[in-house]
Structure formats: structure tokens, C-alpha cells
Amino acid sequence: MSVNVQKSFEAASGARDGYGKLYLVATPIGNLEDMTYRAVRTLREADIIAAEDTRQTRKLLTHFEISPGKLLSYHEHNKAASGPELIRFIIEGKNLALVSDAGLPAISDPGSDLVKLALEAGISVIPIPGANAALSALIVSGLPTERFMFLGFLPRDNKVREGLLTTLQDEESTLLMYESPHRLIKTLESLQEVLGDRNIVLARELTKRYEEMTRGSIRDCLEWLNEHPPLGEYCLVVSGARPEQIKEKRDAWWQELSIEEHVLHYENEEGLTRKDAMKKVAGDRGVSKRDIYKALL
């Protein structure tokens, strides 16, 4: 049996004497008062601070009177070169604090790659917890918190995004995801088309002056956004599938029909056009219209 046991305030199992440590330091997601005493102390004491956006982090350091002279850049576009270099500094005995632009590092940012490199090198990785947008949105959503699934940012490609959402149609956990304002409406349309008209919370500008939570069905929120264009970064909290919905789908009258027979039923029995029949079949089966079209080719 081979395990690696880390005791955060002792040397890591397998670590060599003289190694520094990697600290994952949470930073505010908007309100600077959410910075913890421990996070400030860790940044002050660290030999190096690695940041996703050094300009943003320099403002934070200046606010807390921390020298920006030890600030280095580490982001998605330079991680292949910067990652091994940062690991070398830690192996030489320097303590490194990693921060993201906001919230916990290694969540939807390249920090997770640095963590892997550190663990492979036998370096202790220590969390300095603090603000997190997804969990902050979840706890004020009013939706179930017992089980949840974090999806980060959904894929930009329509086909890939709908494919991912299709795999989650029977997921009973509350779904959490991030979205930018210019993609928000498209994402809500995909959620409605694939998952149905579920309850959702649009949490924007969390902890900031214009913090706002919009609660309602996906359909109602889309209508609301037509009159109130999206502004700021959003965290979406979407209700999971209800057990009765899953059972109803499994026991549905069309389960024994082929897709062609299912489409013909709506054409012949309800007089729908081919296009409308395919759209209704897609809704019944919980797949995209594209999937139905391909199956009928």
C-alpha cells in the first residue's frame, strides 16, 4: 500500500527537508472585508505570491499594505513554463502563496495544475479558506443544499453544452455554475430546452454594492432579462430533477416506440408538422432536437 499523508503543520509524507510549502489563499469575491486575518498574514509572510492577474492582486496587496515586490504571474497562458519554475522555488525552500482573481484558487482556474505539480514533488499544499461565489449563491438560493454539483463555466460550443446538460437530466442534485453576462441568456435557453423549466436563482455581483439575487423559473427569468439586460458576473443555482419526474419519464407511454414511431405519432395523431413533432419528441425524451434529427437521417 502506498499513500501520501500530509500533516499540514509538519513535513509532508515523502517530502524532503528544506522544502517550502504551497498555500492556496482565498481572496475576496468583491467585498474586501471578506479577507480573513489568516489570509492577510499568509500573504505577508510568503516569500512569493503567484497571481492569475498581477494588476488585480497588486490592488489587493496595496490595500492590506503588503509588499507587491514578491508578486509573480501564473495564469492559463503561461502555466506550462511558470508552473515548474514556481515548484523549483518551493523546493529551494521558499513558501509560495497562490491566489486567483477572486475566491478560492484552483476552482475554474489553472491553480489546480500547480497543485498537481506540487503533490508530485512531495510538497505540502495548505488551504487558507475564505469566500467562494458558488457556495455563497447556494446558501441563499432557497434550493436544496444537501447535495449539489459544481459545473464551473458551461462549454461555449452549443453542441457540447447541450450534450453535457443531457447527461444531467436525471441528476437530482442542485446544479451550480458560473456564467458571464454576454452568454447568460444563451445558457438559460439551453437549460430550459434540455432540462425543462426548472427553478433557478441568478446571483450576480455577490458581496458587491449591486449584489442581486433573481429567483424564479427559467422561463420567468428569461422574460425578466429581456427588460433587465445582464450585468456583471453571475452564479446560477438550478434545482435538480425531481424523483417523480424521473419516474414519469421512465414509465412514459412512448418508451416502447422508436424515435421514428414517436415522431409519426405526433404527426398523425395531433397533426403537427414534422419539425414541431421532432421538437416535441426531443422534449419528451430529454434530448436535443439535433439528436432527434440525426437519429432520423
pLDDT attached to residue 247: 66
Cβ atoms of residues 214 and 35 within 8 Å: no
CA–CA–CA angle 35, 40, 45 (5° rounding): 160
Q: What is the pLDDT of residues 249-261, one digit of tens each?
A: 666 778 788 888 8
Instruction: Round to whole Å and give the CA distance between 292 and 204.
Output: 35
Instruction: Round to whole Å and give the CA distance between 99 and 53.
Output: 9
CA separation, residue 60 to residues 6, 96, 109 (Å) = 30, 17, 19
Q: Does the domain made of 22-131 have the CATH classification 3.40.1010.10?
A: yes
pLDDT attached to residue 243: 76
Residues of the chain with pLDDT under 70: 10-17, 244-251
Segments of the chain assigned to CATH 3.30.950.10: 134-242
Strands 125-128 and 22-25: parallel
DSSP for 44-66 reads: HH-SEEEESSHHHHHHHHHHTT-
Instruction: Round to whole Å and give the CA distance between 26 and 106.
Output: 10
Dihedral, CA of residue 255, residue 256, residue 261 and residue 262, to nearest 10: -10
Q: Where are the beta strands (DSSP E) in the chain?
A: 22-25, 48-51, 71-73, 96-99, 125-128, 148-153, 174-179, 199-204, 212-217, 234-238
pLDDT attached to residue 290: 79
> Integer distance in angstroms from the first to the last C-alpha of the chain?
53
Q: Which CATH class is domain 134-242?
A: alpha beta
pLDDT attached to residue 237: 98
Set of cell numbers at residue 207:
458581496
pTM given for the model: 0.81
